[in-house]
Structure 1
Amino acid sequence: MREIIYNEIYSKLNSLEDIERISLEYGVEKSTLFSILSQKIVRKVKINYERYEKMIDKSSSIIETSEKLGIPPVIVARIILKKLGFGKKRIRKIIKNPFLLDNEEIKEKLALANPRIKEEIIAATATDFIFSPIAQEKHRKRGQYVEEKVKAWLERKKISFIREPEIDNEKTPDFLLNSSLTVNGREIFWIECKALFGDVNEHRYYLERQYRHYLRLFGSGMVVYWYSFLEDIKDIEPKLVIKDGSFFR
C-alpha cells in the first residue's frame, strides 16, 4: 500500500462502522482495515492511558464512559477496578471471569462504590473487539491461521524447515529453513509471520525486538505481514524480504 493512500485511510478509519464504506471506496480488504483500525486504537490507548486514568472515577459507568470518551470499554473497566483497589493479576482474572465479583466480601466492598460493575464488565467484554478475552483469543487464532498457511505453502514447495518450538534458542523465527530459498533475487533462511498490517511503527518495533536478532543469527529472511504492508518499509532493512498473504495463495 502506498503511503498517501494509507494516510487517507488512517485518518478516516475510526470505528468498525467505517470499515465497509472505506473498503468500497479504496478497494482494500476488510481484514486489512480491521488490522489498521486495531493498531490505531491500541496506539491511542498507549499514548493517552495516564490521561484516561485521571478522567475516570471509580464510580463511573463503564459503558457510558466508554461511549462518551471514545475509550475501549475493557480499558475503562481496568482503570475502574484499579481505582477500587484491585491489583493487576486480580484485574486480569476479573476481566476473564466477572463472576469472581460475586464473592460476598467483594460484593460488600463494591456495594456503595460501583454496584453495577459486574454487569458492566460482562457488557464490556462482549463489545470490546480489541482488549476483551474473546478478542485476544481471536487474535491468537489469526496468528495460528497465518502460520498454518505459510507451513502449507512450504510443504507444497517441498521446502524443509524447523518450527519455532523445535529450535533451541531463546528468540527464534516461526520457520527456520533447512536450505535457503530465493525470493526476489535474495536468499532467505527464515520466515517470521505477523497476523497484522505492516506499517512503519510496527515494522520498526519488531525490527528492534526480533528481526535484527534473527539476521545476526541466521542471515537474511522473510517477514510476512499477512494483512498487507506499507511499500516504504521494504527499504528500512535491505536484508529482509517483505511479503503479504497474497504471496502464499
Structure 2
Amino acid sequence: MKIDVYYAIMDIISQFGTRNSLKHASVTFPEVDPKTLGSLYAQYYQRRFKKIHFRHTYPDKMEQYYRKYCAKAKKDPSRTLIVRMAEEADIPPCFLAKIIVECYLMQTEYDMEPPPKAAVMQILKDTTRLNDPVMALQVDTCIIADEDYGPYVDTVKHTVGHEYEALLKQDLKEANIAFQDENDLRAKGYDKTPDTILDVPIAVDGFVVNWIESKASFGDEESHQGYLRDQYWSYWNRKLEQR
C-alpha cells in the first residue's frame, strides 16, 4: 500500500472513530481488501484506547462506574445495560464489564481488596462463575457485542495468527524451501524465535532473507518499530543460525 493511501484511510478512520468508518473507507478505496481496512481500524482503536485507558482505571473512577451500574441495574436489569453505559462513556463494553466484575468481586468475595486478575479473567471467559445471574447475562452481552476488546477478540486474533503461521509453513513446503520452526528452535534452547528460520538463505528483490516472521496485522511504521524493539533485533543480535 502506498503511504499516501494509508494516510488517507487513517484520516477517514480517525474522522469517524467507529467501525462505521470502514464503510466510508471502502467506498473511497474499493481496491483495498476489507480485511486490510479492518486491520487498520483495529490498530487505530487499540492505540486510541491505550492512550485513554489509565483515565478509567483509577480506584475512584472504577467505584463511580460500579455505583452508577448498581443504581441503574435496580431500575433496568436488561441485558444491554452495560453495553449502553459503555457507549455513553465511549469505552469498550468488555472493558466496562471487567471494571464492574472487579468491583463486584472486591465487595462480595475479597473483603474490599482488589481481586486477582486471574479471577476476573476467569469470569469474563466463563460468566457462569458469577454469582449474580443478571450481571452474568449483562457481561455475556458485552462479550458478544464487543468487536474490538475482550476474550472473544483475543481468541480470534490468536486463531488468525496460528492460521497465518500454518499458511507460511505450507507455502515454504510447496516451494521446497527447507526451514525450522519455533518448536525446532526452542528445542535448541532459544526463547525468542521467529516463526521460521531458513536452512539456506534466499534472495528476495535483492535482499538476503534468513528468517520469516508472520504477522496477522497491518505492518505500518509504528508496528514495525515495536516489532523491531521487542522481537526482530533479538533475532539479529543473537544471529540465529540453523544447523
Q: Give the TM-score normalised by the residue count of structure 1.
A: 0.77
Q: 1:40 maps to what in 2?
A: 44
Give the total of aligned pairs: 209
- 161, 169, 174: which is aligned to 1:143? 161
| Kept in 1: contact 2:95–2:150 (CA 8 A) | no
Q: Which residue number in structure 2 is paired with residue 165 of structure 1?
A: 183
Residue 6 in structure 1 maps to residue 24 in structure 2: no
1:4-57 C-alpha deviation (Å, 9 max, x unpaired):
322221232233333233123112111111111111111122111121233751
Equivalent residues in 2 for 1:157-196, closer than 5 Å: 157-167=175-185, 168=188, 169-196=190-217
2:86 matches 1:74: no
CA–CA distance in structure 2, aligned partners of residues 17 and 73 of structure 1 = 17
In structure 1, what is the equivalent of residue 35 of structure 2? 31
**Which secondary structure does the structure 1 equivalent of 2:65 belong to?**
coil
**Unaligned regions of 5+ residues in structure 2, if any?**
70-80, 107-114
Q: Aligned equivalents of 2:151 and 2:225: distance in 1?
A: 27
Q: Which residue of the other structure, out of 134, 139, 146, is the alignment partner of 1:128?
A: 146
Are 2:235 and 1:208 equivalent residues in the alignment? no
Kindly provide the amino acid, as one letter, of the partner of residue 58 in structure 1.
Y
Cα distance in structure 2, aligned partners of 1:12 and 1:175: 36
State the one-letter code of the partner of 1:46: K
Partner AA of 1:68 in structure 2: E
Q: 1:93: how far off?
A: 0.5
Residues in 2 aligned to 1:87 and 1:175: alpha-carbon distance in whole angstroms: 36
Residues 20, 30 of structure 1: 8 Å contact kept? no
Residue in 2 aligned with 1:101?
A: 130
Alignment RMSD: 2.0
The one-letter amino acid of 2:158's match is R
Residue in 2 aligned with 1:242? none
| Gap regions ≥5 residues in structure 1 | 108-114, 221-249
Q: Distance in 2 between matches of 1:4 and 1:82?
A: 44
Distance 2:125 2:154 in 1: 11
Alpha-carbon distance between aligned partners in 2 of 1:119 and 1:98, rounded to the nearest angstrom: 8
Per-residue CA deviations over 1:229-249 (Å, capped at 9, x if unaligned) read: xxxxxxxxxxxxxxxxxxxxx
Rounded Cα–Cα distance in structure 1 between residues aligned with 2:200 and 2:35: 33
Matched with 1:119 is 137
1:219 Cα deviation from its structure 2 partner? 6.9
Does the residue aligned with 2:101 lie in a helix, a strand or coil? helix
Task: Give secondary structure in 1 for the equivalent of 2:209.
Answer: strand
1:50 aligns with 2:54: yes
Counterpart CA distance in 2 for 1:218 and 1:129 is 39
SS of the aligned residue for 2:155 comes to helix
Contact 1:95 1:121 in 2 (8 A): yes
Q: How far apart, in 2, do the equivalents of 1:76 and 1:128 lie?
A: 11
Give the counterpart letter for 1:43 in structure 2. R
